[in-house]
Amino acid sequence: MGVIVFWTLIRTIFLIPLLFVLVDTFEFKFWWIVMPMSIYGIIIHPAIVQYKLFQQINKEVIFSSLCSSCKHFDSTAVICMKYDKHPSVDFIPCDGKDWEYNKYV
């Protein structure tokens, strides 16, 4: 999940100065059309696509693993908060030894 935020920030850092440079290229009436389209197309849409891919890849871990019902599991980042490791379908950070039921799941 941090990779999505990182690349969104990198794209923002490069796009904002580029838009300021391009303001002289476009007439003022077209500037307000180019700006939202470029922000959506270069910053927002790729972040949404990456997030959907992240959810698809981790769907099985989030919904049908031992970790998903543990109180140490953070489903938004798909991480075991106790061991600070990412579980997968084949890997459980604590091997089930430190599993604690999360009554709020």
* pLDDT greater than 70 at residue 105: no
Within this chain, do residues 65 and 52 fall inside the same structural domain, yes or no?
no
Highest-confidence segment of 19-28, 40-49, 68-77, 87-96: 40-49
Rounded to an integer, the average pLDDT of 31-37 is 86
Which tens digit of pLDDT belongs to each residue from 42-54?
Answer: 999 999 999 999 9
Tokens matching residue 78: 């798909």
The range of the structural domain enclosing residue 46 comes to 2-57
- Please check whether residues 42 and 79 belong to one and the same domain: no
For residues 96 and 80, state if they share a domain. Answer: yes
Per-residue pLDDT band for 96 (boundaries 50, 70, 90) equals confident
Q: Which of 57, 72, 95 is the last residue of a domain?
A: 57
Chain centroid to CA 60: 17
Q: Do 32 and 6 reside in the same domain of the chain? A: yes
Distance from the Cα of residue 32 to its chain's centroid: 28
Tally of structural domains, the chain:
2
List phi, psi (to 5°) of 80: -85, 115
Residues 26 and 14 in one domain: yes
Q: Do 66 and 51 lie in a common domain?
A: no
pTM value is 0.76
Contacts of 75 (CB under 8 A, 6+ apart): 62, 68
pLDDT of residue 51: 92
